[in-house]
Structure 1
Amino acid sequence: MSGAPPRRAGRVGRTLSGLAVGLGCVLLLGGFVLAAVLYQPYTVPTDSMAPSVAAGDRVLAQRIDGGEVRRGDVVVFEDDDWGPSLMIKRVVGIGGDTVACCDDRGRLTVNGDPVAESYLAGDSEDSAASAMNFTAEVPDGELFLLGDNRMDSRDSRSMLTETGTGTVPRDAVSGRVEAVVWPLGEFGVLPRAAGFGYS
């Protein structure tokens, strides 16, 4: 006769099955723990970032160091000059940049280059990137932040007169918004802002 006795083969099969289930549980729990370490959920407080994210949306933000922030990122930050709560805005300028608005076609410029901002609320060829004209030099280690809903956003433009530069320190950033997770109809990854060239 060849092969293992039926009882022994059944025991081995049950052991392997149990190991596979245990390994699956460990991997599943490990995935949840890893996600909790890398990502933080937030509820968007206002419509200042509409239509990208709206008031009441639940978003997932990757926990990042301020040094990882790039132009075009939508970030979560906290700064006492802006108020006591967490805020969500888009980075349009980093240290050393000159951010200005508007050029002769109503576009935002960074270091003299116009930025294509397809994510803006009410974006069209005829609409300006800002109702107010401004020019700002961004100090090293700071960020210039704007809301996508430029007609209804308290952002670096309104802070220009209050804080001088209107900027926020990089180390005030605690996360980069990666996805909308609620409501389900808006579920999806936030598109990258290609107009800034990912720098």
Structure 2
Amino acid sequence: MTDSTANEPVDEVEARPRNAFLTFLRDLVVILVIAFLVSFVVKTFLVRSFYIPSGSMKDTLQVDDRILVNQLSPELMAVERGDVIVFTDPGGWLTARAVTPPSAFEWVLQQVGLLADTSEEYVIKRVIGLPGDTVACCNPRGQLSVNGVPIKEPYVLLPETGAPVSKDDFSVDIPAGSYWVMGDNRYASKDSRYNRDTPGKGFVLEDEIVGRAFVINWPFSRFGWLGSHPDSFAGVPDPAGTPAPAAQGPSGG
């Protein structure tokens, strides 16, 4: 009986599994390259990950929360009152502190959006006033008002029940192209109120906005959507005096 494999070249028989392994490696590299390119495009143009380093947004956001930020705002999606936004430091807002630089591997993951950005040059606050608005605090009931209308702020953390929503009184007219922002932890937030002596005079320019935070994605126990509380601002007129439309559905946060 003749062995049919006896006449096959030895190297051809041995090459089959080796070629299959090389094909697998090639496909794996292609998949990884595509995945990194997609992640880079998403991170650059659509969604970006950040982590929360301080308690200025408690109880909405806790220290070390990871959030996702929609970078279509404000270019394609208008920033609204109540939105939680991430923006670059307008200058002088952040206190310098030692930061452990990321490893080379962590840096690569940050660049493609697979790891939260740990840079200290970003700030996160809630938008209270839009360009042209007048924001003032506090009325006899301890409330903040926008364009003369007092608003209820269920997202604010206060040191005690009945405390004013701001430790210090203020009244400000917001110039064109600028926003007034405040932290939810009102008595522990260095926000627009306390940066009036910086180059931006406490305002955040539209060009400085990275995007709107829309979800807490880590830890899993705190996973949830970040709402803008439209009900709180539903009765606020715009600077021209036209009332804003009534909010539809429950507010998040």
How many residues matched? 170
Cα separation, 2, equivalents of 1:95 and 1:39: 25
Corresponding letter in the other structure for 2:82: G
Give the structure 2 partner of residue 74 of structure 1.
84
Cα separation, 2, equivalents of 1:180 and 1:105: 32
Give the structure 2 partner of residue 49 of structure 1.
57
Change beyond 3 A, Cα 1:174–1:95: same
Higher share in strand: 1
Give the structure 2 partner of residue 186 of structure 1.
222
The question of whether the paired residues in 1 share the 8 Å contact of 2:81 and 2:228 is answered with no
Q: Return the TM-score normalized by structure 2.
A: 0.61
Residues 104-151 of structure 1 show CA distances to partners (whole Å, capped at 9, x for unaligned) of 110110011011110011387612110100001100100001000011
The residue matched to 1:77 in structure 2 has which SS? Answer: strand
Give the structure 2 partner of residue 11 of structure 1.
none
Describe how 1:1-199 pairs up with structure 2 within 5 A: 36=43, 37-66=45-74, 68-78=78-88, 79-83=90-94, 85-122=121-158, 126-163=162-199, 165-194=201-230, 195-197=232-234
Shift of 1:99: 0.5
Structure 2 runs not aligned, ≥5 long: 1-30, 95-119, 237-243, 245-253
Residues 77-114 of structure 1 show CA distances to partners (whole Å, capped at 9, x for unaligned) of 01224246100000100111110000111011001101
Change beyond 3 A, Cα 1:164–1:76: closer
Change beyond 3 A, Cα 1:52–1:148: same
The question of whether the paired residues in 2 share the 8 Å contact of 1:137 and 1:165 is answered with no
Corresponding letter in the other structure for 1:132: D
The question of whether the paired residues in 1 share the 8 Å contact of 2:158 and 2:187 is answered with no
Residues 3-45 of structure 1 show CA distances to partners (whole Å, capped at 9, x for unaligned) of xxxxxxxxxxxxxxxxxxxxxx9xxx7xx75854421110012
Cα separation, 1, equivalents of 2:55 and 2:83: 17
Q: Return the TM-score normalized by structure 1.
A: 0.77
The question of whether the paired residues in 2 share the 8 Å contact of 1:160 and 1:166 is answered with yes
Question: Quick check: 160-169 or 147-156, which moved more?
Answer: 160-169
Cα separation, 1, equivalents of 2:186 and 2:135: 15
| Superposed CA RMSD | 2.4
Moved over 6 A (4+): none
Cα separation, 1, equivalents of 2:169 and 2:199: 17
Residue identity (%) = 35
Cα separation, 1, equivalents of 2:151 and 2:136: 10
Cα separation, 2, equivalents of 1:148 and 1:64: 23
Cα separation, 2, equivalents of 1:113 and 1:59: 31
Shift of 1:164: 7.2
Higher share in helix: 1
